[in-house]
Amino acid sequence: MELMIPLSSQDPRPLYEQIYQYIKGEIRNGGLKPMKKLPSSRELAKSLRVSRSTTQSAYEQLVAEGYLEASSRRGYFVAGLDGILPPVAPERRAVQEMFPGRRDGEAPDLQEKKWRVDFSPRGIDLDSFPFSTWRRISRAVLKEEDTEMFLKGSPQGDLLLREAIRDYLHAARGVNCTAEQIIIGAGNEYLLILLSQLLGRETGIAMEDPTYKQAYRVLGGMGHPVFPVGMDDSGFRVQELERLPASAAYVMPSHQFPMGIVMPVKRRQELLAWAMKEPDRYLIEDDYDSEFRYRGKPIPALQGMDDSGRVIYMGTFSKAIAPAIRVGYLVLPPSLMERYEERGWFYSSTVSRVDQRILAMFIGGGYFERHLNRMREIYKGKHDLLLASLKPLEKEFEISGEYAGLHVLLTCRGERTEEQLEKAAETEGIRVYGLSGSYIGKKDTESRTVILGYASLTEEKIQEGAAALAKALCP
Asked if 50 contacts 7 with a C-beta cutoff of 8 angstroms, the reply is yes
Residues in the chain: 475
pLDDT below 70 — which residues of the chain? 1, 81-113, 444
For 341-363, b where at least 16 C-beta lie within 10 A, e where not — what string?
eeebeebebbbbbebbbbbbbbb
Residue 359 amino acid letter: L
Q: State whether the Cα torsion 66-29-14-51 is positive or negative.
A: positive
Distance CA(70)–CA(64), nearest Å, equals 10
Q: How many CB atoms lie within 10 A of CB 117?
A: 25
Distance CA(212)–CA(255), nearest Å, equals 12
Asked if 192 contacts 350 with a C-beta cutoff of 8 angstroms, the reply is no
Distance CA(184)–CA(110), nearest Å, equals 36
- pLDDT for 88 equals 44
- pLDDT for 108 equals 42
Q: What is the pLDDT of residues 93-144, one digit of tens each?
A: 443 443 333 433 343 443 444 799 999 998 899 888 889 999 999 999 888 7
Asked if 453 contacts 122 with a C-beta cutoff of 8 angstroms, the reply is yes
Distance CA(23)–CA(293), nearest Å, equals 41
Residue 387 amino acid letter: L
CATH of domain 112-128+370-473: 3.90.1150.10
Distance CA(219)–CA(61), nearest Å, equals 9
Q: Which CATH number fits domain 15-105: 3.40.605.10, 2.60.40.10, 1.10.10.60, 1.10.10.10?
A: 1.10.10.10
Q: Which residues contact 423 (CB under 8 A, 6 or more apart)?
A: none
CATH of domain 131-367: 3.40.640.10
- pLDDT for 102 equals 40
Distance CA(383)–CA(403), nearest Å, equals 8
- Would you list the domain boundaries of the chain? 15-105, 112-128+370-473, 131-367
Q: Which residues contact 377 (CB under 8 A, 6 or more apart)?
A: none
- pLDDT for 30 equals 82
Closest CA to 166 of 322, 332, 353, 299: 332
Predicted TM-score of the model (pTM): 0.74
Asked if 249 contacts 216 with a C-beta cutoff of 8 angstroms, the reply is no
- pLDDT for 111 equals 42
- DSSP codes joined into one string, 199-254: H-TT--EEEESS--HHHHHHHHHTT--EEEE-EETTEE-HHHHTTS--SEEEE--S
Kindly state the DSSP code that residue 418 receives in the 8-state scheme: H
DSSP alpha helix (H) spans, 30-101:
41-48, 52-64, 90-98
- pLDDT for 81 equals 57
Residue 207 amino acid letter: M
Distance CA(20)–CA(14), nearest Å, equals 10
Distance CA(182)–CA(184), nearest Å, equals 7
Phi-psi region of 417 (alpha: psi -120 to 50; beta: other; left: phi over 0): beta
Burial class (CB in 10 A: 0-12, 13-18, 19+), 103: exposed
Closest CA to 408 of 462, 445, 473, 472: 462
